[in-house]
Amino acid sequence: MTATTTSSAASTSSAASTPASGEYTDADLDAVFGPVFARIAEGAVAREEDRRLAHDEISWLKQVRFGALRVPVESGGYGASVQTLFRLLIDLAAAESNLPQALRVHWSFVEDQLLADDSPARQRWLQAVADGTLVGNAITEPGVGAVDRYRTTVTDIEGGYRVDGTKYYSTGSLYSDHILVAGDHGGERVSVLVDADADGVVQHDDWDGFGQRLTASGTTEFTGVEVPADRLLGAGYGAPGRTYATSYLQLVQLSVLAGIAQRALDDTSEWVRARTRTFTHAAADLPREDPLVQQVIGRLAAAAYTARTLVLDIAGKLDLLLDGGATDEALLDEVEFDVARAQHAVITTVLDATSALFEVGGASITSERLRLDRHWRNARVISVHNPLIFKLRAIGDHVLNGADLPYAWSAGDRRSVKVEAAQGE
């Protein structure tokens, strides 16, 4: 371990002082976050073995204010573009694929504040994020689950509201300061921001998927939780019509896949370079010189490149969309269509490559010590958050019949109400 990566995250944060130009370059941001990502990467296999939630790693990210990437410099953030955010999310996913997913709703919460009219509340939340505040979510419910059938209730009380209900797939909430909760308020869908440590909030780390185990995606119970009046955020998930949030949140998932592919490439290449044993009928004496092994590494490299390129290309379009206030309907449709199609390209390419990586060696490559299986398991789990068969059908219907694109909910088309589009679980 080098001196750089063993230094505390707190000392690394000194690199985050505002540059003289008032703008952070990619090089500035890499200098701040690169050492933290490297430190996080070092413990990835141990965390997988122990199923240890990444509380320490989240604290390192908070110390360098990673959650404030999109917050303007004048509000205490880094003022990064959407494309730069997603570039860094891919890098973080390569270090630890659970963390970008755990922070997924945090980023959309920040975007909502950036898109909101200027107000004391907007400035207060941007400042809170700049100071390190993170936002998790509790949207999907067990059972019916759909966005128009919330059983969680938001009830008027003196001075605010009371929240009661049970949520599952509460991704990132155990790492967060506040939880974005979707519920029913007198027959209307709303979102309300709840303090994670409020009385009546009980969180369980009971997510039992075989991959992405450390996303803190378990059950959250709300029993008589009181929140002030200014925590009601509006219609929230399931509101009719076009929204940037569907493509944005799904692009976070694709950035996770891009990072998984990169880490799988790095881990497998390192293993092959160090290996001296091969088969009697191999084409070369050393695995790294074997053309068949080289072909597998080439496939991994192509998967990482394909996924990264698609994510960053779409993120660039999201920059244009959000800079314009996310009101351009044609651009909203273009980005939504791009993300929907990219799901097929990224998912199939990454799953294929992370499965094929085991062909580079004998039984020793399946060692639990290496945990190379985690790459396929993590990719498989993240890829079913928005099941591809449903997305491909929606794309085909759009191409053939001009049907609405698969936003969280397209007004007037009940078939478009999909829990996987609204929350991705």
Within 8 A by CB and 6+ apart from 407, the residues are: 241, 242, 243, 246, 336, 416, 421
Q: What is the structure's pLDDT at 100?
A: 98
DSSP string, 17-78: SPPTTSS--HHHHHHHHHHHHHHHHHTHHHHHHHT---HHHHHHHHHTTGGGTTS-GGGTS-
Residue 209 buriedness (CB in 10 A; 0-12 / 13-18 / 19+): middle
Right CATH number for 244-401 from 3.10.290.10, 3.65.10.10, 3.20.20.150, 1.20.140.10? 1.20.140.10
Q: Does pLDDT of 33 surpass 90?
A: yes
Q: What is the structure's pLDDT at 57?
A: 98
* Average pLDDT of every residue of the chain: 89
Q: In this structure, what is the dihedral angle of CA atoms 219, 220, 221, 226, given to the nearest 10 degrees?
A: -170
pLDDT digits (tens, 9 = 90+) for 310-365: 999 999 999 999 999 999 999 999 999 999 999 999 999 999 999 999 999 888 89
Question: What confidence category does residue 144 fall into, taking pLDDT thresholds of 50, 70 and 90?
Answer: low
Other beta carbons less than 10 A from residue 330's beta carbon: 7
Q: Which two tokens stand for residue 164?
A: 């009661």
Largest CA distance in the chain: 78
pLDDT digits (tens, 9 = 90+) for 267-300: 999 999 998 877 778 777 887 888 999 999 999 9
Q: What is the structure's pLDDT at 44?
A: 95
Q: What is the structure's pLDDT at 239?
A: 61
Q: Does pLDDT of 425 surpass 70?
A: no
- What is the residue extent of each domain of the chain? 26-133, 138-235, 244-401
pLDDT digits (tens, 9 = 90+) for 88-138: 999 999 999 999 999 999 999 999 999 999 999 999 999 999 999 999 999
**Which position has the token pair 């985690």?**
374
Q: What is the structure's pLDDT at 287?
A: 77
Within 8 A by CB and 6+ apart from 162, the residues are: 154, 155, 156, 224, 225, 226, 227
| Entry pTM | 0.90
Q: What is the structure's pLDDT at 234?
A: 75
Asked if 182 and 234 count as a contact pair (C-beta separation under 8 A), the reply is no
Angular region, 232: left φ>0, alpha ψ -120 to 50, beta rest: beta
Question: What confidence category does residue 237 fall into, taking pLDDT thresholds of 50, 70 and 90?
Answer: low
Q: For 138-235, which CATH class?
A: mainly beta
CA distances, 44 to each of 48, 58, 96, 181, 213 (Å): 6, 13, 6, 30, 12
Domain 26-133 matching CATH 2.60.40.1120: the answer reads no
Q: How far apart are CA 325 and CA 322, in angstroms?
A: 5
